[in-house]
């Protein structure tokens, strides 16, 4: 089965790699793609001298410009210590169970979630059922445990999202770990973050056939420890990183020169479109704009980490949030020049962050 982390989607491509500044060639390439052109149109000065921009085109451009400028950035000290949240079984229905975790104030402010691990204690199979297991092959004496994040919505049906799934053996017992980082990330994106985290735990049979038809029902997870002391309660481990130490610092200080060893920050960069030959008589608005770029370095957490991604590189200073660039350009329709509004995505940096090179970015919660 494909590992769940491969299902994490890369959120829109950022402004290329760390330290790469926005260039005129990149803006030109975006315009050509947006207008489905293979080359820069040939426009004489006479084509645009008497060109008047209609009011509805200006209004559309201004609306996109306001939206672009009005976009707000969204939003541990590192150690092997982590916060652990106790959960409770809210309901049980056949082989599906609902887990509830109170999350308020569980994640430290100004921190980055590295990993969330759900630990469930699998109880030993009762002695009365051991004979039944003896008739099953090792492959048949397994069940699939699936973890889904549950969102309760007021304006429609509830939503579930698969976050992890793995096989467990009926011959074994003890703690089982599931990666639920994506579920906690989804919870963080909710408009009502004070509601609890709901995880749906399902146990299904892995193989068909009469001998294994009901074997998965023997998989039970404890709500109390094996000795009755409560150590078997469901646990949620939250590994976080303190961004005050390992994150970016915001905007660069314009009075202080940025050196290679400076801490990651967002630096002002002005793109002068009037000075670019290809933009003459084609780009009507804007004459130029502040694009910004991410500069500086990121402090590296000590090893070992509480997780290891394949091909995980060092933390680097990269754009984490961008906004579009509205433009008014000249296009020829019916042999006559006309103004047209286009919007180029991911052209202006809104926020710089420190991010691991090669680490997948969690999906955004759909509306």
Q: Which domains does the chain have, with CATH numbers?
A: 17-76+244-356 (2.10.90.10), 83-241 (2.60.120)
| pLDDT tier at 184, thresholds 50, 70, 90 | very high
The model's pLDDT over 217-247, given as tens digits with 9 standing for 90+, comes to 777 887 644 444 456 788 999 988 888 888 9
Mean pLDDT, residues 137-164: 83
Determine which of 191-195, 287-291, 348-352 has the lowest per-residue pLDDT on average: 191-195
CB atoms within 10 A of CB 241: 22
- Does residue 2 carry a pLDDT above 50? no
Higher pLDDT, 16 or 297: 297
Rg over CA atoms, the chain? 27
In DSSP terms, 271 is beta-bridged to 289
Determine which of 45-54, 149-158, 164-173, 262-271 has the lowest per-residue pLDDT on average: 45-54
- Does residue 29 carry a pLDDT above 50? yes
Helix (H/G/I), strand (E/B), else coil: 257: coil
pLDDT of the residue at 119:
92
pLDDT of the residue at 45:
74
- CA geometry: angle at 105 spanning 103 and 110, to 5°? 115
Whole-angstrom Cα distance, residue 22 to residue 16?
Answer: 9
Mean predicted lDDT score pLDDT of the chain: 77
- Does residue 118 carry a pLDDT above 70? yes
pLDDT of the residue at 352:
92
Q: Quick one: what percent of the chain has pLDDT higher than 90? A: 13
Mean pLDDT, residues 261-279: 88
The model's pLDDT over 283-301, given as tens digits with 9 standing for 90+, comes to 888 888 888 899 999 998 8
pLDDT of the residue at 206:
67
- Does residue 209 carry a pLDDT above 60? no
Residue 354: both structure tokens together: 């420190």
User: At CB < 8 A and 24+ separation, what contacts does 27-33 make?
Assistant: 27/271, 27/273, 27/325, 27/344, 27/347, 28/276, 28/278, 30/344, 30/345, 30/347, 31/283, 31/327, 31/329, 31/342, 31/344
Higher pLDDT, 313 or 128: 313
The model's pLDDT over 77-102, given as tens digits with 9 standing for 90+, comes to 333 334 556 666 554 444 788 889 88
pLDDT of the residue at 199:
92
pLDDT of the residue at 138:
61
Residue with token string 């315009």: 31
Q: Please state the pTM of the whole predicted model.
A: 0.67
Residue 269: both structure tokens together: 């960069």
Residue 226: both structure tokens together: 């094996």
């Amino acid at each position: 089965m494909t590992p769940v982390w491969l299902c994490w989607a890369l959120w829109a491509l950022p402004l290329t790699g760390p330290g790469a500044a926005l260039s005129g060639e990149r803006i030109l390439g975006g315009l050509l793609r947006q207008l489905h052109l293979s080359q820069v149109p040939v426009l004489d000065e006479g084509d645009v001298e008497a060109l008047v921009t209609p009011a509805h085109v200006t209004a559309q451009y201004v609306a996109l410009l306001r939206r672009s400028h009005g976009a707000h950035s969204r939003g541990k000290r590192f150690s092997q210590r982590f916060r652990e949240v106790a959960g409770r079984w809210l309901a049980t229905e056949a082989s599906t169970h609902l887990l509830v975790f109170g999350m308020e104030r569980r994640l430290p402010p100004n921190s980055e979630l590295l990993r969330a691990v759900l630990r469930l204690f699998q109880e030993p199979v009762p002695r009365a059922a051991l004979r039944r297991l003896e008739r099953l092959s090792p492959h048949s004496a397994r069940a699939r445990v699936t973890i889904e994040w549950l969102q309760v919505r007021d304006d429609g049906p509830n939503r579930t999202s698969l976050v992890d799934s793995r096989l467990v053996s009926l011959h074994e017992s003890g703690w089982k770990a599931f990666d639920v980082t994506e579920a906690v990330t989804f919870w963080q994106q909710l408009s009502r973050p004070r509601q609890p985290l709901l995880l749906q735990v399902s146990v299904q049979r892995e193989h068909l056939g009469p001998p294994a038809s009901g074997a998965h029902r023997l998989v039970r997870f404890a709500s109390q420890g094996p000795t009755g002391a409560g150590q078997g309660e469901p646990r949620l481990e939250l590994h976080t990183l303190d961004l005050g130490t390992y994150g970016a610092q915001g905007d660069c200080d314009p009075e202080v020169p940025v050196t290679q060893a400076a801490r990651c920050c967002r630096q002002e960069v002005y793109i002068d479109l009037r000075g670019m030959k290809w933009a003459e008589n084609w780009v009507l608005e804007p004459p130029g704009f502040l694009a910004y770029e991410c500069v500086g370095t990121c402090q590296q957490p000590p090893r070992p980490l509480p997780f290891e991604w394949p091909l995980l590189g060092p933390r680097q200073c990269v754009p984490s949030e961008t906004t579009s660039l509205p433009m008014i350009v000249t296009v020829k329709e019916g042999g006559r020049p006309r103004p047209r509004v286009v919007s180029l995505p991911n052209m202006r940096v809104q926020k710089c962050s420190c991010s691991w090179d090669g680490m997948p970015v969690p999906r955004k919660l759909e509306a």
